[in-house]
Amino acid sequence: MIISTPIFEAYIKCPYKCWQFCLGEKGEENVYLDFIRMQNHAYRTAGLEKLIDKFQGSEYVALPSAPVDIKTASWRLAIGIVAKKRNLESHLHAVEQLPSHGQDKPVQFVPIRFNFVNKLTKSDKLLLTFDAFVLSEMIGREITHGKIIHGNGNAAFKV
């Protein structure tokens, strides 16, 4: 069984619902949850557009169709990467590549998540941690931190 971001998110919120999700059982439709999903999607789309504006055309890659070798990548920002390792899978909103500080230090990769809420919860931070963990496992390198861009002012929260 592949542990993906939706499964991990379901487990954080309610282990029983996660169990139902894994069994393929569909719960009742929830208008409020649909609204939250739509808000997050719209916020992520707008946030990614603002983020892309900071980079030149060759400095970012969006929704790579082929598997990406992150260690040798020439981009500074990647959008829509799917990180996979063994039974883990995470759909990353964005990954920023920071230049190394010194010759003997490797470049750093920073996973980025978007959330429209003004106040972050423990679940939001755990989802970013899951992204960082799967990315770390995939590239075989420690990920020291990630960012959540959230709220009305597009505040960046470092985790």
CA dihedral 88, 89, 94, 98 (to 10 degrees): 30
Percent of the chain at pLDDT above 90? 47
| Residue 79, CA distances (Å) to 28, 95, 151, 158 in order | 32, 7, 20, 19
Where residue 80 falls (left for φ over 0; alpha for ψ -120 to 50; beta otherwise) is left
Residue 143 Cα to chain centre, angstroms: 13
Low-confidence winner among 1-15, 40-54, 101-115 (lowest mean pLDDT)? 101-115
Which amino acid is residue 75, in one-letter code? Answer: W
**pTM, full prediction:** 0.87
Helix (H, G, I), strand (E, B) or coil at 97: strand
Residue-wise pLDDT tens digits, 94-120:
999 887 776 777 788 999 999 999 999
Give pLDDT tens digits for 125-141.
999 999 999 999 998 88
Do residues 150 and 128 make contact, with C-beta atoms less than 8 angstroms apart?
no
CA dihedral over 130, 132, 138, 142, signed as positive or negative? negative
pLDDT tier at 39, thresholds 50, 70, 90:
very high
